[in-house]
Amino acid sequence: MSQAEADRLLAIFLDSGAQRVEADILQPADTLLDLYGEDIRGRAYVTHDPLRGEMMLRPDFTVPVVQRHMAERAEPAQYTYAGPVFRAQEDDTGRPTEYMQVGFEVFDRAAPAGVEARVFALFHSILTPLGCTASLGDIGLVLAAIDGLSTTDARKAALKRHVWRPHRFADLLGRFSQPLKLPSKPLGGPHIGVRSGRDVAARHAMLEEEAKLPPLAAGEVEVFDRLLAINGAVPDALDELGLIANDFPALGAAVGKLSDRVAAIEAAGVDIARLKFAAAFGLTSMEYYDGFVFGFAQPNGDTVASGGRYDALTRVLGQGQDAPAVGGVIRPELTAALVAALAGDAA
């Protein structure tokens, strides 16, 4: 059933102008480790090849598709694909370790809001007739808020590294909001591990410089509390974001982009009053996205599809060259069950 549903979804994306592409099941581990850090090991299957070194079973299609596009550099371009992905599960034994993905990716420099609206509207047309509900987010808002902080570039970079890890992000924000207290001198004792005495001294010197910096202003920290608390209908969310931007002008451009996107989505025929927006959406599971994000959930709350903008990923894989990119994936075994349920109801 999943294969038939995957073929149906592929046909929709092909009819939309996409080119079908394939990706190796075994992917080089070093690329994925550079992107995600050691955290990827907790959710990927790792093996070793005598000639190619450490490899991972494909955890998603986006990375190899971006690599292919950045090598060919033909724009605008649209791709679609289908096949299994593999995700190790540490805690939830009920979640599958192998499942199908069907995806659609667009690389186009024209009218960013229009491209985002077109991709979202296509997914919306596929999934809402099956009873799925859509949610929107924008990681670019959080990144813009970080850029607007009155602090050093090093602190901003540290916060950006942990945007997709909310607990670490909150801890770091709290640390930067308080004066840093240090011991009077580097701790003594035997050296354990790979760090030398020079490494320890350098780290202590860096912390001493950090301790000289003033804490983040309380009003700036409050911006994140107000921003990440937004969760409601899109028109209401835009109103609240406008109020925050009035108090924190650094958000103005990002809020403007969101407004343009919402207008484009509405022009594509989607009723924005029925869409929900959460500023924190995607911050725990969509770590290579850096702007617009979306998701569709079935009635029981399980995610059926997700996607968004990931320009930063193309810069990393393109070695400094970028290609504005928007895309998403659907799990066909879940949509197949929804199609079957609707057919049963109709009978």
Structure confidence by residue, pLDDT tens digits, 211-257: 667 888 889 999 999 999 999 999 999 999 999 999 999 999 999 99
Asked if residues 55 and 48 have their Cβ atoms less than 8 Å apart, the reply is: yes
The pLDDT, as a whole number, for residue 262 is: 97
Three-class SS state of 255 = helix
C-alpha closest to that of 335 among 137, 135, 136, 123:
123
What band does 95 get if pLDDT is binned at 50, 70 and 90?
confident
**Residue partners of 281: CB distance under 8 A and separation at least 6:** 135, 136, 137, 293, 295
Condensed to tens digits (0 to 9), the pLDDT of residues 298-310 reads 988 889 999 999 9
Q: Where are the strands (E) in the chain, listed by range? A: 19-20, 26-28, 46-49, 53-57, 77-86, 98-107, 133-138, 231-233, 276-278, 292-297, 303-309, 325-330
pTM for this structure? 0.87
Closest to 294 in 3D by CA, of 304, 310, 306: 306
Contacts of 43 (CB under 8 A, 6+ apart): 59, 87, 88, 89, 90
Residue 117 has φ and ψ, to the nearest 5°, of -65, -40
Quickly tell me which residue has 């920290």 as its tokens. 221
Tell me the C-alpha distance between 158 and 154, whole Å: 6
322 versus 107: which is more confidently predicted?
A: 107
Q: Give the per-residue pLDDT at 213.
A: 72
- Give me the count of residues in the chain: 347
H or E segment to which residue 114 belongs: helix 112-127
